[in-house]
Amino acid sequence: MTQTPLPTPSPVPSPTPSSLPLGAGFRFSTYGPPSNPGPDYWASVGTQMSAKFPASTPATIWIVGNFDGNGVYLNFPCETQDPRIRCGYFDMNEESLVLFDQLGIAVWLQVEPGDGSVDELIDITLKQYGHHPSVVGFGIDVEWYHSTGAPEGQPVTDEETARWVKAVRAHNPKYWLFLKHWKTEWLPPTVRDGIFFVDDSQQFDSFEHMLEEFTAWGEHFAPSPVGFQYGYPADSPWWKKLSDPPGDIGRALLAGVPNTHGLFWVDFTALEVFPPQP
């Protein structure tokens, strides 16, 4: 009896800029907001932010690892051989991620690695949360990469970046790696495949000053996707004068930086701009 050969599975295509939707939402950390109103509130911020940009998907940069001493503290239980990676006793993210799954909020899981092994952090984090359909990628805040305590970090190389992209894709070929800093020279010189570049600069003199710097960021990494964190307290003297700060800034960025794929209001002022409802 002749057996019909099984079809060869089609390879999963690698991420391309066109496959990354525009995400609009917020940045969250355990130390950013003055209080934490809970998962429902943050989901609401994501949907409110996304509603300002009709083509967008609600999204969040969700920080699961905070810079701690010479390493990183992960806010969930884990096991590690690296003494510079410290694990929590309670999972502070699972409840929120379950809700984000239900609501279709795209989640970027981020760490501030210090001297902790980034390769191990990728594996620990994505093993813990990779089952959530809301997760779209893993991120590194480079200002805390081999930091000495001051937020600037160590520039990353092409070799390191390519290795991290491979490690992230080993968990899911559709995942992205995001790298965050405010200096282009701190990020890889030439490697671009599968990377989302986020600028978290602040302390601008004016709205125009911010647009000028963020536009240069977008041009430097084009055609790769870029994203922006904004709404910092240091910039409030000028953004408070706007009629709709999250929307006005985001629309200006979309108009001036065509490869924008992420707009994130920061948690430091989220409760002021998106007041919790009773």
Q: What is the mean pLDDT of residues 196-200?
A: 98
- The arithmetic mean of pLDDT across residues 129-139, rounded, is 97
> Average of pLDDT values for 182-187?
97
What are the tens digits of pLDDT across the range 7-35? 444 444 556 665 799 999 999 999 999 99
Kindly state the average pLDDT of the residues 144-173: 93
Calculate what percentage of the chain has a pLDDT beyond 90.
Answer: 89
Question: Cα separations (Å) of 138 from 42, 82, 124, 176, 237?
Answer: 19, 19, 11, 7, 33
Domain ranges in the chain are: 24-271
User: Going by DSSP bridges, is the β-strand pair 195-199/135-141 parallel, antiparallel, or unpaired?
Assistant: unpaired
- Cα–Cα dist 188/193, whole Å: 11
According to the model, what pLDDT value does residue 222 have? Answer: 97
CA atoms within 13 A on the CB side of 155: 9
pTM of the model: 0.93
Pick the closest to residue 264 from 85, 20, 23 (CA basis): 23
Integer Cα distance of 139 and 60 in angstroms: 11
Which CATH architecture best describes the domain 24-271?
Alpha-Beta Barrel (3.20)
Confidence of residue 130 (pLDDT cuts 50, 70, 90): very high
pLDDT tens digits, residue range 213-246?
999 999 999 999 999 999 999 999 999 999 999 9
